[in-house]
Amino acid sequence: MKKKQVQIEYQKKINLINKLNKLYYDKSQPSVTDEDFDKLKNEILHLEAKYSFLKSESSPSKQIGYKPSKNFKKDFHRVPMLSLANAFTEEDLINFEKKILNFLSKDKNYKIFYSAEPKIDGISASLTYKNGEFVKGLSRGDGKEGEDITANLFTLSDIPKKIKLKDFPEEIDVRGEVFIQNSDFEKLKEKFANPRNAASGSLRQKNPEDTKKIPLKFIAYTFGFEKGLKTNSQFDYLIELNKWGFKTNPLNKLISGVSNLIENYNFVEKQRSNLDFDIDGIVYKVNDFTLQKRLGNVANAPRWAVAHKFSSNKATSQIIDIEIQIGRTGALTPVAKIKPVNIGGVLVSNATLHNEDEIIRKDIRIGDTVVVERAGDVIPHILSVDLKKRLKKSLKFIFPKNCPSCGSKTIKEFNKVTKKKDAVRRCSSEGYKCQKISIEKLKHFVSKEAFNIDGLGKKIVEGFWKLKLIQFPQDIFKLDYNKIEKLEGWGKLSVENLKYSINQKKNISLERFIFALGIRHIGLENAKLLSKYFKSFSNFQSLSMKKNYDDLLNIDGIGETQVSSIKNFFTNETNIEVLNELGKILVIKNATAKKNSGLLNNKSFLVTGKLNGISRAEVKSLIEENSGTTVSSVSNKLNYLIIGEKPTKRKVESAKELKIRIINQDEFLKMLNMTS
């Protein structure tokens, strides 16, 4: 079949399945038998597997089970629903605790108690109670705004509708997990890929009567907004929840010490297969609410909690080949092509080998029999080599000394910070001169967090690149659409859509723009810092005129590594040309200043010396929460130097010279109406 014909066939099937879904789920009128439905679904999946160019948002490969109905009202969570950072190893846990102790400025003997709670793999929901009455239930949504699924949640017998106990808070959002028990899932197996999908699908039924038919359970574990909650710790809160009539996990425990956490983890993991619900790890939460408050959040996850994931699934396979991939920064990443093997329901045929050192350390060779691990969302990797099964003729793998794409020398850089050679080998060519690097740069440029151009995915970027339609980022905005329309797989409509999404993205914020450039060591966070510092594209662009980049070190969070990378970027002529061209085409919005409402607005701070009972990190987050800024050196941009024990003399002296106010910890806390 020709590509076009395949596409037409495929689209017809997608349209049909959409129609059937609508009849079934929105109108509750199944119009075909389940077998016919599955047949159609399989045909679509089969076509997608055979022809990689096929894709549709409404494909059953994207939407398993019930399609979320568009009929739910959206509503904001009064307190956002955060997510959790993951830990996989004992080392991760040790680091988790270390960071907490550092942040709180406690010594290593300080005992932190954690509420250790099995992490049920379901759908989280937030239930609002006012004066003891369940008044509203929201799904998590994007964490800020969820769907109003009150009517459906009402059908769950695990959710108390009225709580008359006196100590129940006047107002509270009780949060927990909606899930389906494995034994109940048995009956729904035909319709859903796994219990989680079944829970999510049934919660989103348009008609609550349909939700009611499915035995959904609810386990409570946290809260959002509250008024009148009298507990001071997570574990006490769990006990209260029970008293109020909520179910909590019977395997919840109060534990201190990493070794005890591990012991409990092993114990629960052993029970895992006997439980009637799926758990994918254990959540540890610092028990004391006062400490939780102090620790606060990073991005969208709390500092005071972590999800310790169960060890992944492993499988044995054989390495067929070792390929070298070249990344956007020129890093050469070896990837093992392995005989496809099913690991925990996913067919794995690639495993990362990380870098040259890793191959040497494990002496990994083509033909080796290896144990492959797939943990959480991370890329599968090789755990170990079975030396007994090594082929007699096998040879050590020699890492290429020249870039497989452009032939330039590959080098290992010396890292000034670690004072060691990098483990990663890189192509030494300058950015756009190496084909592979160029393509990767373009993929990054259009990626989600950068320009986020719909319809210009990785495969299409590669295709356009091969056809010489794009070579540099600016070419994306000068595409020859007439030519594209004539290409196989493209039509009038798809070209119109592409044109529309590209034009739409000509308006861009400075931080996204800086991130999109793909300057090494400048990720999203650093791009934000630079954007805030430069404020406008023209200020940023004028970096190319600079002789000395040292003043960038004043931006808190930007270090020597970043500055030297920025300098490299701006001393490359092609990069300057890319910048100039983009500047002509795009409308790059100036960075807007943050809300200035806090007590420390317009004030900048620097800490020197050890403070008492509060870490630098906590001071920094206190300052930022109150609209102040922190700087990393004494200059006339500094307003307050906070001194602790054994301050750096030089800093104090230069502060005095510059007539900068010098304050101690108490004076600082008083500025925030806090006393130590």
Of the listed pieces 44-52, 164-172, 300-308, 453-461, which binds ligand IVH according to CB under 6 A? 300-308
Nearer to ligand IVH, 65 or 224 (CB): 224
H helical segments located in 1-119: 3-21, 34-50, 90-104
CA distances to 141, 427, 440, 445 from 329, rounded to whole Å, are 34, 8, 8, 13
DSSP helix/strand/coil, 615: coil
| Smallest separation (angstroms) from ligand IVH to the CB of 88 | 14
Closest C-alpha to 375, from 344, 413, 419: 344
Decide: is 120 part of the binding site for ligand IVH (CB under 6 A).
yes
Decide: is 241 part of the binding site for ligand IVH (CB under 6 A).
no
| Smallest separation (angstroms) from ligand IVH to the CB of 141 | 11
The position carrying tokens 């080949």 is 321
Record the tokens describing residue 156, joined without a space: 């769950």
Give the list of residues 6+ apart from residue 410 with CB closer than 8 angstroms, or none.
Answer: 332, 399, 400, 401, 402, 403, 425, 426, 427, 428
Site string for ligand IVH, 162-191 (x = CB under 6 A): ---------------x--------------
Residues 517-546 that bind ligand IVH (CB under 6 A): none
Residues 354-413 that bind ligand IVH (CB under 6 A): none
What type of residue is 505? K
Decide: is 194 part of the binding site for ligand IVH (CB under 6 A).
no
The position carrying tokens 């929840």 is 241
CB under 8 A, 24+ apart: contacts of 289-297: 289/231, 289/232, 289/233, 289/234, 290/232, 291/100, 291/104, 291/112, 292/234, 294/103, 294/104, 294/618, 295/100, 295/103, 295/104, 296/621, 296/625, 297/82
Helical (H) or strand (E) element with 86: strand 86-87
| Smallest separation (angstroms) from ligand IVH to the CB of 120 | 5
Nearer to ligand IVH, 222 or 629 (CB): 222
Decide: is 307 part of the binding site for ligand IVH (CB under 6 A).
yes
Give the list of residues 6+ apart from residue 509 with CB closer than 8 angstroms, or none.
Answer: 531, 588, 589, 591
Of the listed pieces 23-31, 117-125, 479-487, 533-541, which binds ligand IVH according to CB under 6 A? 117-125
Site string for ligand IVH, 275-294 (x = CB under 6 A): --------x-----------
Nearer to ligand IVH, 77 or 444 (CB): 77
Nearer to ligand IVH, 153 or 470 (CB): 153
Of the listed pieces 45-53, 299-307, 486-494, 635-643, which binds ligand IVH according to CB under 6 A? 299-307
| Residues touching ligand IVH, count (CB under 6 A) | 15
Among 199, 238, 261, 305, binds ligand IVH (CB under 6 A): 305
User: Other C-beta atoms within 10 Å of 9: how many?
Assistant: 16
Decide: is 200 part of the binding site for ligand IVH (CB under 6 A).
no
| Smallest separation (angstroms) from ligand IVH to the CB of 220 | 9
Decide: is 217 part of the binding site for ligand IVH (CB under 6 A).
no
DSSP 101-161: HHHHT--TTPPPEEEEEEEE-SEEEEEEEETTEEEEEEE-TTSSEEEB-HHHHHT-TTS-S
Strand partners, 341: 348
| Smallest separation (angstroms) from ligand IVH to the CB of 218 | 12
Nearer to ligand IVH, 283 or 530 (CB): 283
Among 14, 17, 84, 623, binds ligand IVH (CB under 6 A): 84
Nearer to ligand IVH, 119 or 443 (CB): 119
Nearer to ligand IVH, 79 or 467 (CB): 79
620 is a catalytic site residue: no
Decide: is 221 part of the binding site for ligand IVH (CB under 6 A).
yes
- Is 58:20 a contact under the CB 8 Å cutoff? no
Among 59, 222, 329, 526, binds ligand IVH (CB under 6 A): 222
Nearer to ligand IVH, 118 or 473 (CB): 118
Phi first, then psi, for residue 281 (nearest 5°) are 165, -170
Nearer to ligand IVH, 302 or 518 (CB): 302
Question: How do strand 640-643 and strand 604-608 relate by DSSP bridges?
Answer: parallel
Among 48, 75, 117, 373, binds ligand IVH (CB under 6 A): 117
- Is 618:600 a contact under the CB 8 Å cutoff? no
What type of residue is 605? F
- Given 2, 12, 111, 119, the catalytic residue: 119
- Is 558:450 a contact under the CB 8 Å cutoff? no
Nearer to ligand IVH, 29 or 290 (CB): 290
Among 302, 334, 431, 518, binds ligand IVH (CB under 6 A): 302
Of the listed pieces 302-310, 379-387, 507-515, 580-588, which binds ligand IVH according to CB under 6 A? 302-310
Decide: is 83 part of the binding site for ligand IVH (CB under 6 A).
yes
Q: Crossing angle for the helix pair 458-466 and 435-446, nearest 10 degrees?
A: 140
| Smallest separation (angstroms) from ligand IVH to the CB of 159 | 16
Question: How do strand 305-309 and strand 86-87 relate by DSSP bridges?
Answer: parallel
Strand partners, 661: 640
Binding site for ligand IVH (CB under 6 A): 82-84, 117, 119-120, 124, 140, 177, 221-222, 283, 302, 305, 307
Active site residues: 119
